[in-house]
């Protein structure tokens, strides 16, 4: 254990609040839930919640930042094979699917969510440029094609609408990537 008892106690409260937010996001009801109800679910007073997070937006912000610690996201950055990279992209999307649906679906409304989408998209473009460069393909069309292919929206479409499994989605993406890169 790290820190004094006080610090631990404090961080327990913080984590309980974040867990409540996360569970509400997963249930798809966070955006209709008041701050008071979030506090109640966390088993914490509203005052405590505001002591940790100054506003409602800060709650979403904290959830977004928590993705930086997601192992699937970390693994992603160290991958230099396109097929493997696509697999790991799928791993990441699926590891946070329910939460990301809510955040991507609120990007026009919530600055924190908008920020997340923006950052993740930029990162993905950077990695794709690197991967394509290694393949000797730095044309914009290939980049565009793969950017769309590896997007959360594409993942979601394949997963939800067509009911494919995680593995199937990865396989579809890999096959399509090959088709799109062939010329």
Closest contact distance (angstroms) between CB of 103 and DNA is 17
CB-CB neighbours of 120 under 10 Å: 20
Contact status: 41 vs DNA (CB under 7 A):
no
- Smallest CA-to-CA distance from 14 within 41, 58, 48 is with 48
Among 41, 46, 114, 129, binds DNA (CB under 7 A): 46
Closest contact distance (angstroms) between CB of 115 and DNA is 16
Contact status: 1 vs DNA (CB under 7 A):
no
Contact status: 116 vs a copy of itself (CB under 8 A):
no
Contact status: 44 vs DNA (CB under 7 A):
yes
Among 13, 120, 154, 174, binds a copy of itself (CB under 8 A): 154
Query: End-to-end CA distance of the chain, in Å?
Result: 57
* Whole-number Å distance between alpha carbons of 25 and 83: 31
Contact status: 29 vs DNA (CB under 7 A):
no
Element (H, E) at 39: helix 35-42
> DSSP label at 109?
T
* Whole-number Å distance between alpha carbons of 177 and 111: 32
Contact status: 43 vs DNA (CB under 7 A):
yes
CB-CB neighbours of 15 under 10 Å: 12
Contact status: 57 vs a copy of itself (CB under 8 A):
no
- Smallest CA-to-CA distance from 100 within 35, 10, 25, 6 is with 25
Closest contact distance (angstroms) between CB of 23 and DNA is 17
| Helices H / strands E in the chain, number of each | 11, 0
Binding footprint of DNA on the chain (CB under 7 A): 4-7, 9-10, 12-14, 34-36, 43-48, 50-52, 54-57
Contacting positions for a copy of itself (CB under 8 A): 28, 31, 101-110, 114, 121, 125, 140-141, 143-145, 147-149, 151, 153-154, 157-158, 161-162, 164, 172, 175-176, 179-180, 182
């Amino acid at each position: 254990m790290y820190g004094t008892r006080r610090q631990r106690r404090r961080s327990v409260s913080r984590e309980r609040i974040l867990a409540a937010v996360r569970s509400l996001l997963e249930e798809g009801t966070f955006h209709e839930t008041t701050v008071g109800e979030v506090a109640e679910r966390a088993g914490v007073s509203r005052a405590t919640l505001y002591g940790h997070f100054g506003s409602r937006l800060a709650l979403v912000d904290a959830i977004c930042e928590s993705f930086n610690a997601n192992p699937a996201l970390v693994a992603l950055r160290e991958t230099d094979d396109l097929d493997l990279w696509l697999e790991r992209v799928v791993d990441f999307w699926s590891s946070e699917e329910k939460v990301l649906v809510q955040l991507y679906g609120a990007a026009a409304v919530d600055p924190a969510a908008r920020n997340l989408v923006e950052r993740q998209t930029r990162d993905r473009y950077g990695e794709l440029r690197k991967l394509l460069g290694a393949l000797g393909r730095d044309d914009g069309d290939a980049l565009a094609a793969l950017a769309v292919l590896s997007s959360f929206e594409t993942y979601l479409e394949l997963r939800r609408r067509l009911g494919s499994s995680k593995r199937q989605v990865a396989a579809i993406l890999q096959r399509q990537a090959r088709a799109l890169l062939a010329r």
